[in-house]
Amino acid sequence: MLRLGDKCICKDKISSPVTKYSELDPALCKELRKIVEALTAPGKGLLACDESPSSLEDRFSELGVENNENSRRDYREMLFTADKCQLSQYISGVILHHETVYQKSTDGIELTEVLRQSNVIPGIKVDKGLLPLFGAKNENTTEGLDNLQERCIQYKHDGCHFTKWRCTYTISETTPSLLAMVANANVLARYATICQSARMVPIIEPEILNTGDYGINRALEVHEEVYSVLFRTLHEHHVYLEGAILKPAMVLPGVQSSTNCTPQIIAEHTLTALQRTVPPAVPAVLFLSGGQSDKDSVVNLNAINAYEGKKPWTLSFCYGRALQNTAMSTWKGKRENASKAQAVLLERAKLCSEAALGVSESESGVCTRKN
């Protein structure tokens, strides 16, 4: 028996098969940390540009743009060829869709190379979408683990250095269920270990959707439950936390709630959830915009970084629509609008960068949810 203060420790007890596992190669750990450091440089965040062709259908249709491979290439090329100095000042990496990784610009340059020339790191979305979770009511898990290691090895060879995988959770009187939390935590953990074995940094996205009618305190409760289960599972799977990034939603009231929350309240609840559940070993938390308006996504991120309290992680952004909305509507599928759309993108990126440093001068507002 091991007693506190004993000088002699029974090593075979400490090194039992239950606790023994193979340590990661030091060179692998160093590479993962190096990628994380580049992605989470002060004032920088990620551009999520991984929309599937089908998810762009409605957005392109509203602009009168035909949704085909060439138009999607033209749009993303417009984004990636914005002024190199400014783009790399605010954006450290871009999450790509599989299609984009293998597309070339109109000049015949691979789009991943276009990003590298701007000192922006290419990444790739590797999950294959949501599917119903059997045994649960109106809850989902995410597929794509089959052949994931082979795909990651190929993506690494083709110039991508980080990945993203999304699982979703809904808040109601009965959800998220323990089944959904445990099942998705195991999927996210397995994804993370596979990616790390392929020398790629996993971005772990447990998105708690803010649909429904509930207040911010209920949201806080669910965020804590989901993250607690998640990080226990990551530990059990021996995920190298120093070589991973968390991409959560901010703690918000449901969109159908009549609750009004100031950015400071959102910051307080969001940081409380993180402080209670996320280990300091995690180097960075990059928030998703989660259905917030373009303005709210900046104001709330700034409030989180300006809020006093323990924040052992880099707190920045990984935004899709919050960065792209205005740029896309300015572009409208026309080459002559490219420079204006790029200027809009860079302005949005600058605002997000300032918010990631907690120095944004954007108007402080109130996050309002009404029926």
Active site residue 51: no
For residue 11, the number of C-alpha atoms closer than 13 Å in the C-beta half-sphere is 0
Q: In the beta sheet, which residues pair with residue 95?
A: 48, 123
Degrees (nearest 5) of the Cα angle 310, 216, 263?
Answer: 60
Amino acid at 84: K
Active site residue 205: yes
Degrees (nearest 5) of the Cα angle 177, 180, 181?
Answer: 90
Active-site choice (44, 125, 164, 247): 247
Active-site choice (51, 205, 268, 354): 205
Nearest to 92 by CA among 38, 53, 145, 146: 38
Measured distance CA(97)–CA(77) in Å, rounded: 13
* CB-based contact 164:124 (threshold 8 Å): yes
* CB-based contact 248:208 (threshold 8 Å): yes
The percent helix, strand, coil of the chain (3-state, each to 5) is 45, 15, 40
Contacts of 82 (CB under 8 A, 6+ apart): 342, 345, 346
Measured distance CA(120)–CA(13) in Å, rounded: 48
- CA-based end-to-end distance of the chain: 61
- Residue 206, judged by CB atoms within 10 A of its CB (0-12, 13-18, 19+), counts as buried
Active site residues: 205, 247
